[in-house]
A and B are shown apart, each in its own frame.
Chain A
Amino acid sequence: DAGVTQSPTHLIKTRGQQVTLRCSPKSGHDTVSWYQQALGQGPQFIFQYYEEEERQRGNFPDRFSGHQFPNYSSELNVNALLLGDSALYLCASSGNPSYEQFFGPGTRLTVL
């Protein structure tokens, strides 16, 4: 049983560019949450998708947007990249009735 997978593993972009990160949830999970983790910090919640809708959102600007597909996979899009967007982006999946969130390996984004 494959766990949560994310692609790509690493990305290097320049300021002002746009990026799309992808996540496939663990089999049987229908909820996907995205987190940003800066170096030395805990993960920060960006938003959560359930039934192809954004259900909750953290304190992130509109430059951060997402999508969930019918197969429950998800994308995170970030527009107009800033240097401060450099971080590890983690995707976590969970499924009713389970409460646990399982994290993927993350995408390391570097903005130059």
Chain B
Amino acid sequence: QQPVQSPQAVILREGEDAVINCSSSKALYSVHWYRQKHGEAPVFLMILLKGGEQKGHEKISASFNEKKQQSSLYLTASQLSYSGTYFCGTEGGRDYGGSQGNLIFGKGTKLSVKP
């Protein structure tokens, strides 16, 4: 089941904050967040494992509520470099010996930061 991301698009001014949500209809083991700029590969931002943890990287942080099967990405004091499409990738479980399960990605949230 593909996770649902909201909003589909958001336009910010430099310095403004934004929240991107990711919801799944199935139980999740982990949620992965990526940013992709036009014509480039997705760049890993962070991973959240089940346990309701919150992680942060500079001015970008995220939370994971496994009971609600939701994750949110928080971007504070946005910079021009934050522009791009943000994808959440969800992982439903790990029932094999490999290092990671496959990811099901949402359709993305396009973020545009204006000067």
Contacts and interface: CB of A to CB of B under 8 A. Distances in A.
With a 10 A CB-CB cut-off, give which of B43, B49, B99 has the most chain A CB atoms: B99
A101 B33 CA distance: 10
Interface stretch (A11-19, A37-45, A79-87): A37-45
Interface string B9-48: 0000000000000000000001010100000111110010
A66 interface: no
Contact of B96 (A56, A99, A103, A106): A56
Contacts of A31: 98-100
Interface string A93-111: 0111111111111100000
Given A48-B102, A102-B44, A43 B87 contact: yes
Given A42-B107, A105-B40, A56 B47 contact: no
Contact of B30 (A42, A97, A99): A99
B102 A42 contact: no
Contacts of B98: 31, 48, 50-51, 55-56
Nearest to A100: B44
Interface residues of B, number: 26
Given A42-B106, A100-B32, A100-B47, A30 B40 contact: no
A45 B41 contact: no
Interface residues of A, number: 29
Contact of A58 (B44, B49, B89, B102): B102
A33 interface: yes
Contacts of A35: 105
Interface of A: 30-31, 33, 35, 41-45, 48, 50-51, 55-56, 58, 90, 94-106
Interface of B: 2, 30, 32, 34, 40-44, 47, 49, 87, 89, 96-108
Given A51-B98, A97-B99, 16 more contacts: A31-B99, A31-B100, A33-B103, A35-B105, A42-B87, A42-B106, A43-B89, A48-B98, A50-B98, A56-B98, A96-B99, A99-B99, A101-B89, A101-B100, A103-B41, A103-B42
